[in-house]
Structure formats: C-alpha cells, structure tokens
Chains A and B, each alone.
Chain A
C-alpha cells in the first residue's frame, strides 16, 4: 500500500557476492549477502554502486530476482556499451564486496490491493526478472491466483530461467514468443507480441485482471497500448521500463 514502501533509512550497505549462475550467454544471476537487509516486496529493485580505485563511482538500478524470503539475488544482462553490467556479468567473483541499497519502488509490486484478480505478466527479454520474484513469492505463500506469463525473447537460448519457468504449475501458465529464431518443431508463439497474440493470452476483461509489463521501452509501450486497446483500464496495467546503459 502507499506509504509503506520505504520506512527505514535506505543506507548503502556492503554486500558480499555469493553464488552466481549463468542464465544465458549474456545474463547472470548473482546472490548477494546483505547485512541487515530489510525484506523486499516482489517486484522491487535495488541500487548497486561500484567504486574504482581512484574513487570514480557508478550507480545503476536492478530488479530483484529473488522472493522476499530468499537470499537477495539480482539477474543482470550484459549491455555491450554498458559500464556496470559488464563488470557484474564478467568480472565480479564470489566473495567480492559491492555496495547496495534498497529495496526501492512501491508500485510495480505484487500482491496489489486485490490479490485475487487473475494476473497477466508480460516480459520482454530481461524484463522477466521481477516476475521471477513474483512467481516465487506466489508459490512460497501458497497463493493460487490464476497467473499467465507471456515472455518474449529473441530465441530459445535467450530465455532466462527457462528450466524454472517450464517447471511451474499450480495455476501458472507460461507462454513464450520467440521473435528472431525458432527451433525446429517450435510449438510456442513466434514474432513480436501483437494484438492477436495478446487476445489469445490475456485474461478476459470480465475477470478484472491485473497486468504487469516489464521490458525495453518500445516493448512496454506497444504491449501497454495493446492491452488498453483490448479494454484493460489504465490503472490495471502496471509498467516498468528500462533504458540507457
């Protein structure tokens, strides 16, 4: 609810890098041991600060990939001309210390006011990260809200968390659409998320669904506009976009 997102002082804390998992060729999940971390809500993000030997600092925001009751983890996609993401996906090692603060953001979170509404999660690329937190949290608390995840990725090897997503059950349906390359015999969707695809996957309006969209700006713009076109009220469509490097 409003006003509860940040109560404590959000100070920079020194986190120790723990286990790391390479999710795809360019995406890595990093566990962080953060002393005195205030539990986050599914969908929130955190800030990471790196400091070079001469004092130069760089800060970026990353979605939290873990459920509230798990060790904090972020999943980072390496951006070619990035500054922080290449370090986090290639250089950082277990035991290294980096600065972290958060959790941040109180709107793109789940559960929302009426947690019984069917949930539509639409992810573009690494926009799937906050949804992993939401899906894990949903399972942890035994919530049975009917949930659909529509995940747009370039190709099957680009799908993050594929084994975990393929293993979901208990009222969660996962659909993929592959935009650039489909393996032989691919039975999922192909091409960009469009009106027809959303018409197929989105919950009917009369069920009062709640939609979350996360991904690159152009993806979020087009999916949000399409959902509004299907009749989803603007206040039932939450968006999170990323851009910049």
Chain B
C-alpha cells in the first residue's frame, strides 16, 4: 500500500486524454522529449542503407531510394518512454518490417536492431512482425528530424520507446536472444509498458 503524499493532488489529471490509453506510471505530454546516450549521428543519405543480416551474411540491403520505393504506410500510434512520458496519436510514415522480411528467407526467433552511433536493441521476431513494427522515416508528414532518429528509426509502439531504435541501419537475425544497449545497462529485456517492465528486475 502506497503512503499518501500529504497535500499532493496532481495537476495533470484534468487532461482530456483518454486515461485508458495511458500505461501505468506514465503521464501524457504534448512535447516530444529527446533521449539518447550520445551525440546525434548524421549519415548522408547517399551512404545510407538498411540491411538484414544473419551471422556474417547480408541477406538483403536497401538503399535510401530503394526503401522509399517500397509501400509506405501511414500509422497513428501512442508511444511511451520508460522515463514516464506518453505521447498520444503520433503520426508516422514508414515501411512495415513485414514488407522487408518478406524479401528474405529466414526462420529467426529474435532480431537485434543496429544503428549509427553503435546503439542496439533486441526484440523477439514476433514483436516486429504482424503489422507491429516499421522503419519510419516520416513524422507528421515531414522527414523525421535527426534528433528524433532521422533519417530513419525503428517504430515498435507497443513496447517502451527505447526499443524503437533511432538512426537504425538494419536488423540482425538471431536464433538466440542477445541483449542490446539499454538491456545491458539495467533496463528490461522486453519492455511492455502495460506491465511496467521498465527495469531488468520488473
């Protein structure tokens, strides 16, 4: 039983937000806060590619124009960051991971997303397929700004947002799970906001 914080009433509860959409321990923000462990990388689009790798092999790689030529989906989703903010009805444009994986033969159980700047994050393949994940390069109808992960980031809105890796450059297909960057620094391996899986022991 939590102790009552004497004199605390809460100022943000009068939000018009539909509280059923806000996971436990989160508050709704209209800002778009930025959280990254290091400097923002800037890779020229001419040198940019998105690759699906397995072991030492690159199974498939798309240049920037090749990725743009794939079917682009417009998705409106709520996103939740482990630092307690939730942003409702964010609008993204990107290519579904299903579309990308359909072009390779694979039977992986996990993926490790890798990024410019060295960031990684791990996800079960079941969480990046079935219309649940995208490589997003548009936000609100405009190119995704660099500080928010542009030119392209992973978008996996049903998990805490550190799983939606910024500056993503590809997916490594894995038979066995392998923790990524924050997962090695004490954050939860899976990260379901509705079960408040923030930290390793949750």
Binding site for B on A (CB under 8 A): 2-3, 5-6, 8-10, 12, 14, 47, 49-53, 56-61, 81-83, 86-87, 91-93, 96-99, 104-108, 217, 220-221, 224-225, 227-228, 234-235, 237-239, 241-245
Which single residue of chain A is at the shortest CB-CB distance from B1? A51
Contacts of A53 in B (CB 8 A): 4
In the complex, the answer to whether A2 meets B8 with C-beta atoms within 8 Å is no
Q: Once the chains are docked, how many angstroms separate the CA of A57 from the CA of B118?
A: 36
Query: Per DSSP, are chain A's interface residues mostly helix, strand or loop, or mixed?
Result: mixed
In the complex, the answer to whether B10 meets A56 with C-beta atoms within 8 Å is yes
Residue from A2, A3, A50, A105 having most chain B Cβ neighbours under 10 A: A50
Contacts of A234 in B (CB 8 A): 38-39, 41, 117-118
A92 to nearest B CB, angstroms? 8
Question: Contacts A224-B39, A239-B37 given: A105-B185 contact, CB under 8 Å?
Answer: yes
The 3 closest A-B pairs by CB, nearest first: A243-B33, A6-B186, A5-B186
Q: Once the chains are docked, how many angstroms separate the CA of A2 from the CA of B35?
A: 19
The listed residue (B5, B182, B185) touching A52 by CB distance below 8 A is: B5
B67 to nearest A CB, angstroms? 24
Q: Once the chains are docked, how many angstroms separate the CA of A183 from the CA of B35?
A: 34
In the complex, the answer to whether B185 meets A107 with C-beta atoms within 8 Å is yes
Contacts of B200 in A (CB 8 A): 5-6, 10
Contacts of A49 in B (CB 8 A): 2, 25
Contacts of A107 in B (CB 8 A): 37, 181-182, 185
Contacts of A58 in B (CB 8 A): 8, 10, 12, 27
Contact with A along B85-103 (1 / 0, CB 8 A): 1000000000000000000
Residue from B10, B39, B202 having most chain A Cβ neighbours under 10 A: B39
Q: Once the chains are docked, how many angstroms separate the CA of A224 from the CA of B146?
A: 13
Contacts of B11 in A (CB 8 A): 81-83, 86
In the complex, the answer to whether B27 meets A6 with C-beta atoms within 8 Å is no
Which single residue of chain A is at the shortest CB-CB distance from B201? A9
Contacts of A51 in B (CB 8 A): 2-5, 8
Instruction: Name 15 extra pairs, CB < 8 A, besides A6-B186, A234-B118.
Output: A8-B201, A51-B8, A53-B4, A58-B10, A59-B25, A83-B11, A98-B3, A107-B182, A234-B38, A237-B39, A239-B36, A239-B38, A241-B34, A242-B33, A243-B31
In the complex, the answer to whether A57 meets B186 with C-beta atoms within 8 Å is no
A56 to nearest B CB, angstroms? 5
Q: Once the chains are docked, how many angstroms separate the CA of A50 from the CA of B27?
A: 13
Binding site for A on B (CB under 8 A): 2-13, 25-27, 29, 31, 33-41, 83-85, 117-118, 147, 181-182, 184-186, 199-202
In the complex, the answer to whether B8 meets A50 with C-beta atoms within 8 Å is yes
Contacts of A14 in B (CB 8 A): 3
Q: Once the chains are docked, how many angstroms separate the CA of A104 from the CA of B182?
A: 11
Q: Once the chains are docked, how many angstroms separate the CA of A242 from the CA of B6?
A: 27
In the complex, the answer to whether B8 meets A91 with C-beta atoms within 8 Å is yes
In the complex, the answer to whether B39 meets A60 with C-beta atoms within 8 Å is no
Contacts of B40 in A (CB 8 A): 221, 224-225
Q: Once the chains are docked, how many angstroms separate the CA of A6 from the CA of B197?
A: 13
In the complex, the answer to whether B199 meets A104 with C-beta atoms within 8 Å is yes
Q: Once the chains are docked, how many angstroms separate the CA of A220 from the CA of B40?
A: 10
Q: Once the chains are docked, how many angstroms separate the CA of A245 from the CA of B7?
A: 19
The listed residue (B39, B84, B201) touching A6 by CB distance below 8 A is: B201
In the complex, the answer to whether B39 meets A83 with C-beta atoms within 8 Å is no
A230 to nearest B CB, angstroms? 11
Q: Once the chains are docked, how many angstroms separate the CA of A235 from the CA of B118?
A: 8
In the complex, the answer to whether B201 meets A83 with C-beta atoms within 8 Å is no
Which single residue of chain A is at the shortest CB-CB distance from B8? A50
- 28 A-B pairs whose Cβ atoms sit less than 8 Å apart in the complex: A10-B199, A10-B200, A51-B2, A52-B8, A53-B4, A56-B9, A58-B8, A58-B10, A59-B26, A81-B11, A83-B11, A91-B6, A91-B7, A91-B8, A92-B7, A99-B2, A105-B185, A105-B186, A106-B184, A107-B37, A217-B33, A221-B147, A225-B40, A241-B34, A241-B35, A243-B31, A244-B31, A244-B84
Contacts of A47 in B (CB 8 A): 84
